[in-house]
Structure 1
Amino acid sequence: MKRIWKRIAIAVSAVVAVVGAYVGSGAAGGTPIQDAAGGALSASSTAIAPDGPAFSIWSVVYVGLIAYAVRQFFRTADDERHERLFVPAVLSLLLNAAWILSVQFGFLWASEPVIVALLGVLVWAFAVLRRTRPSGTVEAVVTDGTFGLYLGWVCVATAANTAAVLTAAGFRGFGFGQDVWGVVVAAVAGLVGVLLAIWGGGRLAPTAALSWGLAWVAVGRLDGSLVSVPTAVAAVVAIAAVVVVTLAVRTRTGWVGSRRPAARVS
């Protein structure tokens, strides 16, 4: 019975996250998230803000999360891998909705601890998944793929949100311009991507999502009201570094995870 309630909790949390996304998109008649909080999260708000189309990745993530929630009802009762994933999965879904609501209601300052907590929870989920191997292709795509994309994108989103919150609070970068801070943040995002690639054994999903976000940062800095060529170049270099390291790690290890059977979490 306890396992059944856990599966229901995941399903309900997924619905809450999707409804929150629907409201946040402005489809329900509200303000689109990029226009909420005085436009603090718009594509031209800071040098590290991704251009608008970048956010379409949320559609892929939400479809994956719904698929993950549905799949929970068909897994075996002794699947300890998913038992360990339960808490971070539910927390990530609820924090996702909380972040959207905090921005929609104009509490931009509150969105920062929420998205930082979301990032931490997704790192926790990633740690659970990397310790064991998926039982098959469906598991690899639905669970590992979804949470990998989720983590990679939230890395970029956290950087953009932090920059937006600081800018809205009146932070002027200690006298350094947007170009300098854009380059620094893009470099940090690239470093995070490299570390994830090494730690995760060359998993593709986090790299794909993080690269997607940085690519749209580059596009936004080359075209729009806030042009910053140095930031665009730094973002492209960061993408190249993350992709190269991911492929190198994957090649060096032969991605042993794809050859190794699923293991129980001790």
Structure 2
Amino acid sequence: MIGLDSLEKNKKGLVDKAGVNKIKKGFKGGFTLFTRKKTAYKIFVVIAYLGVITTNALANIIPIGGVTTGEVSDSYPNFFAPAGFTFGIWAVIYLLLGAYVLYQFGLFRRQLINERIFQEIAPYFIISSLANILWIFAWHNFKIAVSLFLMIAILLSLIKIQYILKRFKLYSRDKLFIRAPFSIYFGWITVATIANITTYLVSINWSGFGLSDVTWTVIILIVGLMIGSLTIFLNKDLVYGGVIIWAYFGILFKHTSPYDFGGKYVPIILTVILSIIILSMVMAYIGKKLRAFFVILILLVVVSTVFISFRTYKAMDEAVKAKESPNVTVQDRTIVFNPEDEAIANLVFYQGGLVQPQAYAVLGQMLSEQGVRVFIPRMPLNLSILNASSFDKIHGEYEDGNDWYIGGHSLGGATASIYAKNNSENIEGIFFLGAYPSDRSDLSGFEIDVLSINASLDSIIDRDKYEQTKSLLPQHTVYVEIEGGNHSNFGYYGLQKGDEKSTITRKEQHKVVSEKISEMIE
């Protein structure tokens, strides 16, 4: 032991055995006490970790309160919640936290690290775990206010852990087994806290000071972007940034998926895309690798395109067959249905969100048989809102002196209203199929013909919004409701998720639509 040799001999060179034994006994006792304390907090960390894993598993197996975590979330619908697949990150979080728990006992280690780091992290890890467990019970019992308080407790615990980590020198393995688990956890809880706040506001029916849900979602997204960017910059934590981007991609996919929002809320989609780009740039700057930014951006674009393509509703065989008819041509990414005789009018049709344009080929063929030349342009990513002005190009190339009409299904109808608002001089009329005008498109004072066709079993359209936006249409608007029809039957692409099954055939619904549009044109 340090210094014992000098204590074992006095000035006369004699050994003071009693004194030495007393000192040795004191060192031994103190070391034993220290070892027990060090082992104790590690055991508590293990218990806390196992408690979190068990509770979260039982939450969905039993489930606690008779509902799953996702079902509670679905009870408070909002525009900020990401797609379900993004929650798979919890498996990564718990796996890495498990690795951290083992790492504190020396497993996987090569370099020596100051053991005090584990001792300082322990109380905050335990607090976050207890809050996590209690959050599950609060959430599953619809105690949203309590769950928000507990979520903030988790967030503050992780912020403190981040502060602790900055004070210690970490080697490569330490960064993998200590920093990475808490960076991912911290990143996801940052987003989860914002989502929990949003859910709480929905639960109390907050009015939002008169601002729309879309506007507030855009504001929340920007706030999340600012918090994420600042944290990445201050902590120089690329792992944290990757988690924020992952969450924002989940929001993007949910808003562009035909199974969820179907591209209806364009301001949200554009804000998310811009946020992802900015977050990627911040990460590239911190990592001092501009090339990495472009690689990340390209990968994100490719993954998004593939994912959206995979989620797009495909045209049914009847529609594919109609598109392949002799009178159909495809020019400049536009499907053209030419009437047998001279055309009496021209009509531009905008597809529904994330639905293939050829899914509307049957309707295009039926209208062409009535003497109408029909154009169905192919939209970027099958989202008509991304090219609302495609009418202009078609009108410029095919102008023949006949009247022009525009309209569409679902998102396509809203997109058509945006174009008509600023270009009414080019069109004679507009029609909506299972759709309503955009909030920005007040057509109430316009003299053009307007036709709105709805279906009684349409479960996709927002009924409240449909009624509210009637004030944006002229008083002479013709309203038609197809009894027994649904949202999906306006095209040939199968049954859309969330839509009710119709009691009439697609052909019967298409016949009504074709007749009413023909009447408007005549």
TM-score (norm 1): 0.86
Paired residue for 2:217? 182
8 Å CA contact 1:37–1:107 kept in 2: the answer is: no
Letter in 2 for 1:218: L
Equivalent in the alignment of 1:207:
241
Q: Quote the Cα distance in structure 1 between the aligned partners of 2:162 and 2:172.
A: 17
Distance 2:93 2:151 in 1: 16
1:12 aligns to 2:44 (yes or no)? no
Is 2:193 the counterpart of 1:158? yes
Query: Number of residue pairs matched?
Result: 245
Q: Which residue among 66, 75, 78 is the counterpart of 1:46? A: 78
Shift of 1:99: 1.2
CA contact (8 A) 1:50 1:160 kept: no
1:19-44 CA distance string (max 9 Å, x none): 121123x123442201137723xxxx
Match of 1:127 in 2: 163
Name the CA distance, whole Å, in 1 between partners of 2:274 and 2:153: 28
Counterparts in 2 of 1:28-43, with a 5 A limit?
A: 28-30=62-64, 31-36=67-72, 39-40=75-76
Query: Matches of 1:166 and 1:199 in 2, distance apart?
Result: 30
Cα distance, 1:77–1:128 mapped onto 2, change above 3 Å: closer
Q: Partner amino acid for 2:284?
A: L
Q: Out of 34, 53, 56, which is 2:88 matched to?
A: 56
Query: C-alpha displacement at 1:133, in angstroms?
Result: 2.9
TM-score scaled by length of structure 2: 0.45
Per the TM alignment, residue 162 of structure 1 is displaced from its structure 2 partner at its CA by 0.7
Report the alpha carbon displacement of residue 107 of structure 1 after superposing the two structures with TM: 1.2
Letter in 2 for 1:125: I
Aligned to 2:103: 71
Distance (Å, rounded) in 1 between the aligned partners of 2:74 and 2:223 = 27
Aligned partners of 1:68 and 1:142 also within 8 Å: yes
Structure-2 separation of matches of 1:171 and 1:225: 23
Name the structure 2 match of 1:261: none
- Residues 198 and 50 of structure 1: is their aligned pair in 2 closer, same or farther, counting only changes over 3 Å? same
The one of 265, 277, 287 equivalent to 1:250 is 287
Tell me the SS of whatever aligns to 1:7: helix
1:120 Cα shift?
1.2
Q: Which residue does 1:196 correspond to in 2?
A: 231
- For residues 132 and 181 of structure 2, the distance between their equivalents in structure 1, rounded to whole angstroms, comes to 14
Counterparts in 2 of 1:77 and 1:234: CA distance versus 1, 3 Å: closer
The amino acid across from 2:168 in the alignment is: T
One-letter amino acid of the counterpart of residue 166, structure 2: R
- The letter of the residue matching 1:175 is G
Q: What is the one-letter code of the residue matched to 2:192?
A: A
SS at match of 1:73: coil
Identity of aligned residues (%): 21
Range with bigger deviation, 154-163 or 219-228:
219-228
Secondary structure of the structure 2 residue equivalent to 1:132: coil
**Following the alignment from structure 1 to structure 2, what is the Cα–Cα distance between the partners of residues 181 and 236?**
17
Q: Which amino acid aligns with 1:35?
A: E
**1:235 aligned partner, one-letter code:** V
- Structure 2 partner of 1:221: 255
Q: Distance in 2 between matches of 1:135 and 1:250?
A: 18
1:238 aligns with 2:272: no
Runs of 4+ in 1 over 3 A off after TM superposition: 75-78, 224-227
Q: Residue by residue, what CA displacement relative to the aligned partner does 1:116-163 show, whole Å, maximum 9, x if unpaired?
A: 1111111111111123232332x2112100100001111111111111
Deviation at 1:49, TM superposition (A): 0.8
SS of structure 2 residue aligned to 1:251: coil
Amino acid of the residue matched to residue 112 of structure 1?
L
Alignment RMSD: 1.9
Structure 2, unpaired ranges of 5+: 1-35, 290-522
Aligned to 1:21: 56
Structure with the bigger RCO (C-alpha within 8 Å, sep 6+) is: 1
How many angstroms apart in 2 are the aligned matches of 1:99 and 1:160? 14
**Separation of aligned partners in 1, 2:133 and 2:99:** 18
Larger radius of gyration: 2
Per the TM alignment, residue 58 of structure 1 is displaced from its structure 2 partner at its CA by 0.4
* SS, match of residue 71 in structure 2: coil
Q: Which amino acid aligns with 1:28?
A: I
